[in-house]
Amino acid sequence: MNYNYDETLRFIFVIAGKGTLSKRLAEDNDFTHISVGDLLRENFDEEPAITWHVEKGELLPMQYLLPCLKTAFRDSPSGCPIIVDGFPRRADQVRAFEKAFGAPHLVLFFQCPRDLAKKRVISRNEGREGDNAEVFDKRYSEYLELNSAILDYYGSTRGNGKLVEVNTSGETEVSYSKLLAALQARNEWPQLTGSPRSPRSPPSP
């Protein structure tokens, strides 16, 4: 499936971690933030396949996910880098996305211990489908099984070494500072922000 993608589109994948950091990074740099989980919930009643997969905590096949992403990208401001949060989850998603839309500029992986990640998910209390211990345990098992291939790919020369790993087990401000430092050390970052001094550093306490 090929959407004849716009070659000016620039993407940052966030494989796993804190959505708070992704959203803040987008806000501080005028990027577009697209949460794949939120995107599927927005389309929950539009497509029976999406409804079924979200309710069961199953990963959505790309034949259904790609059209959702295409619409979201089309509705994004022109020329604005896009953070795709919560993607990819499987190696076949990498291949399908890159064929349809092109490769990402950077791939972020927010490291967090399992117990802390579980606590953060089930304590959100947002009434969202899938925010419960049972679904988390299932998804975490899938994450352990499937994510290693993605990390190996983007951390290697095959994926052009685009992987950026950040420890986010601490407080949000500490984690965000680590993220900024890691990004500013990358040659790709000025291409995304247009300025080697971006993103804006958080204010001193």
The CATH number that applies at residue 47 is 3.40.50.300
- Domain residues for the domain of 46 are 11-185
Residue 39 within a domain: yes
Residue 101 within a domain: yes
Q: For position 33, what pLDDT does the model report?
A: 96
Instruction: From 169, 58, 60, select the one nearest 112 (Cα to Cα).
Output: 169
Non-local CB neighbours of 173 within 8 Å, separated by 6+ positions: 202
Instruction: From 33, 31, 25, select the one nearest 166 (Cα to Cα).
Output: 25
Residue 139 within a domain: yes
Residue 197 within a domain: no
Number of domains in the chain: 1
Residue 138 within a domain: yes
The span from the CA of 112 to the CA of 145, in Å, is: 16
Instruction: Give residue-wise pLDDT tens across range 80-120.
Output: 999 999 999 888 999 999 999 999 999 999 887 666 666 76
Residue 41 within a domain: yes
Instruction: Give residue-wise pLDDT tens across range 154-171.
Output: 998 776 899 999 988 888
Q: Which two tokens stand for residue 120?
A: 């953060």
Each of the 205 residues of the chain gets a pLDDT tens digit; together they read: 455 556 678 999 998 766 889 999 999 999 999 999 889 888 877 778 888 887 777 788 899 999 999 999 999 888 899 999 999 988 899 999 999 999 999 999 988 766 666 676 666 555 555 566 776 666 666 666 778 889 899 998 776 899 999 988 888 899 999 999 999 999 999 999 986 544 555 554 4
11, with CB counted inside 10 A (0-12, 13-18, 19+), is: buried
Q: Which two tokens stand for residue 191?
A: 């291409």
Residue 33 within a domain: yes
Residue 192 within a domain: no
The span from the CA of 15 to the CA of 13, in Å, is: 6
